[in-house]
Structure 1
Amino acid sequence: MLTPDGWWDAVEPRLLTQIDEALCTDRLIQAILLLRGEGGPQPRPGLYEAQGLLVERRAELDRQGLLPPEPPPPTTTQLIAKVDAIAAPILAVEACWDGDSRGWCVDLVAIVSRPGRDHDHVDEVRLATLREGSDIRLFNGQVPPWPEAQQAIEHGQAIARHCGVPFHFASPETPDVDLPRWWDTRPAGRTEHPAQQPGGTRRSSR
C-alpha cells in the first residue's frame, strides 16, 4: 500500500501540475478525475481514498502559501449601499443556496417589483455571493454548520430591517437548490410592496 507521499511520487509531473492547479481554484471534482485518470498512480485510488489524498495535498499547498487568498466578505454597510441604489421597489431580502464547481455558496438577493426571469411580477437583484471555502470542507468535517449561511442571516436581517421588508431563508442548516422561494410563500401569489398592503411598513427613506 502506497503512503500519501508515495502516491504523489507516482504521479506524472505534468499531471501533478494540473491537479495542483485544480486544487488552487477549489475544483475538487476535477482534481479527483485527474488523479484517477490516465497518468495517475497505479493501482488507481478509490473515490474516498482519492478525496482524502487531495485534502492532504491541498493542505500542503496551503502550508506552502500557494493557495490564493479568499476575497474579504462584504460588510452590511456595503450591502445596504447596494440596496439603496436599486430603483425598483424592494419587496423582500432573500438568501438561497447555489452551487458550482467549487461547491456550495449562498446568494443574497433583493426581491424587487418588476417582471423577472422566474416570475411574472417579481425579479431578483444579486447583492452578494457568500462562500467560506469549497466542498473540501465536507470531507474534512468543517461543515456543518455553514458559516456563509450565518453571514447571510446576519446581513439579510439587517438589510431587511433597513428596507422595512421581510427576510427569507428557506434552509439555513442544509444546502439545497430545490427550495421554495420568497414568492412561493406568498398567499395566493400576492407580491405587493409592504407599503401597499394593509398595515404595511414603508421602506426606510434615503
Structure 2
Amino acid sequence: MRNKQARAAWWEGLPEGIRNQIDGYVLQDSLMAAVRVVGDIGFIPDGIGVATATAIVSDRYAYYGDRIAREPHTPVDQESLLRLVGGVPGRVVAIEAVWDGDTVRDWFVRLLAITADPAEEHALALIHRAMAERHLGKEEEREGRHPAAVVAQRAGSELADRLSVPFHFASPDTPDDEAPRWQP
C-alpha cells in the first residue's frame, strides 16, 4: 500500500468518524497523534506499519495545506530577539543556528541562545520556509540558499553582534542536522 492511489483507496474505506479523528489531529498539526491512530487501526487488519502510516498522514497534510494550525511564527526582529534573550537564565555565551527537519515540514532552522551558568541552550526562534519567505519577500536574492538559512544567518549574526558573543552556523549553505555544534 505504498503508492498514493492505494493509500487514497484505504483512506476512503475508513469510517467517517475515524477519518474525522485523524484529520482533526492533522488540522491541529499533531503529526504523531495522527500517525498513531492510523497505525493502531491499520496494523493488524491491513499490515500498515509506521512508514505507510506516516505517508497516509502526509497525504492528509498535503490535502489541507495552509489550513493546518501550525505554531505561530516566532519573531526574528532584533527587538523581539533581544527581549527573548533577556529572559534567558544564565550568561549568554553564543548564538547558534542549527538545522532540523521532519518529513512533513521540510527543513527548518532553530535559532538558539547558548548559556553558561547553567550550561544550556534556549530556543529563540523556529524558522520554517514559509515564515522565512514571508520575512524576505519574493524579490529578495537568496543565492540558491534555503530561505530559512538566509533569515537565520542575518538575524543570528546581528543578534550575536549586539550581544558581543560569537555566532555559529556550521552549515549555512546546505541543510545538515548533523553539522558540528558550537563549542566554547
TM-score (norm 1): 0.57
Residues 27, 69 of structure 2: 8 Å contact kept: yes
**What do you get for the CA RMSD once the two structures are aligned?**
3.9
Q: Please state which structure has a larger fraction of its residues in helix.
A: 2
* Alpha-carbon shift at residue 3 of structure 1 (Å): 6.3
Identity %: 32
Residues 91, 166 of structure 1: 8 Å contact kept: yes
CA deviations 1:62-98 (Å, max 9, x no partner) are 47x4x22552330322112333566854322112245
Aligned length: 164
* Larger-Rg structure: 1
Q: Indicate the SS of the match to 2:29.
A: coil
- Tell me the equivalent position of 1:195: none
Q: Report the more deviating stretch, 18-27 or 43-52.
A: 43-52
- Tell me the equivalent position of 2:93: 91
Gaps of at least 5 residues in structure 1 are 117-122, 134-144, 184-190, 192-206
Does residue 121 of structure 2 align to residue 124 of structure 1? yes
- Tell me the equivalent position of 2:72: 71
Superposed, 1:6-155 pairs within 5 Å as 6-38=9-41, 51=54, 53-62=56-65, 65=67, 67-68=68-69, 70-77=71-78, 78-84=80-86, 88-97=90-99, 105-116=108-119, 123-132=120-129, 146-155=146-155
Letter of the 2:162 counterpart: H
Quickly say closer, same or farther: Cα 1:102–1:15, change in 2 above 3 A. Answer: same
* Alpha-carbon shift at residue 23 of structure 1 (Å): 1.6
- Tell me the equivalent position of 1:199: none
* Alpha-carbon shift at residue 180 of structure 1 (Å): 3.3
Structure 2 Cα separation of the partners of residues 10 and 17 of structure 1: 13
Gaps of at least 5 residues in structure 2 are 131-144
